[in-house]
């Protein structure tokens, strides 16, 4: 079972921040890290999940209406360039990075070009997986970089499979953990990684995070999971608990 750090080590550190990513990149046995990208008002690719800054800072407003300097000062929100600069050495050693483009609410004209150019700059393209709830965005990535790896991201397993079969040439599907709705028989006949995403609590509210049964998930054909506390799962795996 692949273990991925969902927005970094986001139980111990604020999600999608450099400390959360630095903690994750140093965990032995971690498959990869997941993060979210939007554009600031001055069109800098920034790493933050919500379209608004309300939940993760003490201010209110939309990411798209604030400059990168403002976002940095308000909530220590990093640029994608800063994150790639941090992670590049580990990515070149085999760590994977899932970049989710947050384009389903605001299209962020040009975000795809800016993201792939940054990935090329750091020479880590082989370690990147692209995903988005907006399949048009994923398709654009693949048009720009035909050899890129993509995953169909959706709320249900069937949504992901529909995208995988009809909209996106991808190597993985990323459905919500509680909405798999795909028979293992079907998955056994597909050459796809099946990684589920979760809605667990984040820092500072995740001190008692949900524990997912990886053995049960594997029996359903799931090959990977995005969790907020990857260090716990990998420590238990190391100790033979999982």
The domain that contains 187 carries what CATH number? 3.20.20.190
Check if the beta carbon of residue 140 is closer than 8 Å to that of residue 188: no
What mean pLDDT comes out for the span 149-170? 91
Task: Tell me the per-residue pLDDT of 231-242, one tens digit each, with 9 for 90 and over.
Answer: 999 998 877 766
Q: Which residues pair with 34 in a beta bridge?
A: 6, 98
Give the H or E element holding residue 23. helix 18-25
- Angle among Cα 211, 215, 219 to the nearest 5 degrees reads 130
User: Each residue of 131-149: pLDDT tens digit?
Assistant: 999 999 999 999 999 999 9
Arithmetic mean of pLDDT, 101-108: 97
In 3D space, the residue among 213, 175, 176, 212 whose CA is nearest the CA of residue 192 turns out to be: 175
Q: Which residue has the higher pLDDT, 208 or 237?
A: 237
pLDDT of residue 242: 60
In the set 49, 169, 205, 212, the catalytic residue is 49
Average pLDDT for 54-66: 96
Name the residue range of residue 120's domain. 2-238
Q: Where are the beta strands (DSSP E) in the chain?
A: 2-6, 32-39, 45-47, 96-101, 128-131, 149-153, 172-174, 193-196, 224-227
- pLDDT of residue 43 exceeding 90: yes
Q: What is the pLDDT of the chain when averaged over all its residues? A: 94
Gyration radius from the chain CA atoms: 17
Q: Is 169 a catalytic residue?
A: no
Q: What is the pLDDT of residue 188?
A: 79
6 is catalytic: yes
Question: 209 pLDDT exceeds 80?
Answer: no
* Structural domain count of the chain: 1
């Amino acid at each position: 079972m692949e273990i991925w750090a969902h927005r970094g080590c986001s139980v111990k550190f604020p999600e999608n921040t450099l400390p959360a990513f630095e903690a994750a990149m140093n965990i032995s046995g971690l498959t990869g890290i997941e993060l979210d990208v939007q554009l600031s008002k001055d069109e800098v690719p920034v790493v933050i999940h919500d379209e608004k800054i309300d939940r993760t800072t003490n201010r209110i407003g939309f990411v798209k209406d604030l400059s990168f300097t403002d976002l940095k000062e308000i909530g220590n929100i990093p640029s994608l360039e800063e994150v790639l600069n941090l992670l590049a050495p580990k990515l070149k050693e085999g760590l994977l990075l899932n970049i989710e483009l947050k384009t389903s609410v605001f299209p962020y004209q040009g975000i795809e070009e800016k993201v792939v150019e940054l990935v090329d700059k750091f020479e880590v393209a082989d370690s990147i997986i692209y995903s988005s709830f907006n399949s048009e965005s994923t398709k654009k990535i693949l048009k720009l970089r035909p050899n890129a790896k993509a995953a169909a991201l959706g709320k249900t397993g069937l949504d992901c499979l529909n995208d995988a079969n009809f909209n996106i040439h991808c190597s993985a599907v990323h459905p919500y953990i509680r909405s798999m709705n795909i028979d293992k028989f079907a998955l056994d006949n597909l050459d796809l990684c099946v990684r589920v995403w979760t809605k667990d609590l984040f820092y500072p509210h995740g001190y008692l995070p949900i524990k997912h049964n990886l053995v049960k998930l594997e029996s359903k054909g799931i090959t990977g999971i995005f969790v907020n506390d990857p260090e716990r799962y990998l420590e238990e795996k190391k100790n033979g608990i999982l």
